[in-house]
Amino acid sequence: MKLTFLSPTKTVASSKYLLNTGTKKILVECGLFQGPKEMRLKNWHHLPLNAHEIDSVIVTHAHIDHTGYTNRH
């Protein structure tokens, strides 16, 4: 089992983690950047993985910085 942190450092926004069990890829959180325009422009970047390979998404709570990016793709 492997957990990859896809979230940036030095910010609490844009929470994203990939849990790879070996047979499944589970995205934990899928949030948007918030704050200054410089940060919000990052919301237009693609995920650093192929979204079609994700088997499921787990969201811990419904704040936009944890769920908002799911609507992007």
pLDDT digits (tens, 9 = 90+) for 28-66: 988 888 888 988 888 888 888 888 899 999 988 888 877
pLDDT of residue 38: 85
pLDDT of residue 72: 59
- Domain boundary assignment for the chain: 2-72
Answer positive or negative: Cα dihedral of 8, 10, 13, 15: positive
pLDDT of residue 49: 84
pLDDT tier, 9 (very low <50, low <70, confident <90, very high otherwise): low
pLDDT of residue 12: 67
Whether pLDDT at 73 is above 60: no
Structure tokens at 23: 């047979």
